[in-house]
């Protein structure tokens, strides 16, 4: 189990899992528009926020873990989810401020 967990949080695998998470949210919004509008609050509280919390924690963990690594691609892949999450939170902040 520990071996599977360590393999899942490697930077390349983590980025793939994160992109699948983002794509699932986008596809949910695109193809289930009517149902999405009805269950939007449940999706935000039970899927989106816990998912973003999970990815934020493990992005910071990967960043700290590979900070001193000489492999530049691992450093870059550790930063990608964290940057996307920051951009997402900035988007939410701007959206809330314009209302």
pLDDT higher than threshold 70 for residue 1: no
73-98 residue pLDDT tens: 878 888 888 888 888 778 777 766 77
Write down the pTM of the prediction: 0.70
pLDDT higher than threshold 70 for residue 17: yes
55, 84 Cβ separation under 8 angstroms = no
DSSP state of 68: T
- Residue 69 and residue 65: Cα distance in Å, rounded? 8
Looking at residue 76, its pLDDT comes to 83
Q: Structurally, how many domains does the chain consist of?
A: 1
C-alpha 26 chain-centroid distance = 13
- Residue 55 and residue 79: Cα distance in Å, rounded? 11
Both structure tokens of 81 = 């989810």
| Structural domain range at position 38 | 2-98
- Residue 76 and residue 66: Cα distance in Å, rounded? 10
């Amino acid at each position: 189990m520990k071996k599977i967990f360590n393999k899942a949080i490697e930077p390349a695998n983590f980025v793939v899992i994160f992109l699948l998470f983002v794509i699932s949210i986008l596809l949910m919004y695109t193809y289930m528009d009517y149902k999405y509008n009805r269950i939007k609050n449940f999706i935000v509280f039970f899927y989106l926020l816990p998912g973003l919390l999970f990815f934020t924690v493990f992005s910071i963990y990967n960043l700290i873990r590979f900070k001193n690594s000489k492999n530049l691609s691992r450093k870059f892949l550790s930063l990608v989810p964290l940057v996307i999450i920051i951009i997402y939170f900035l988007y939410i902040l701007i959206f809330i401020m314009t209302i």
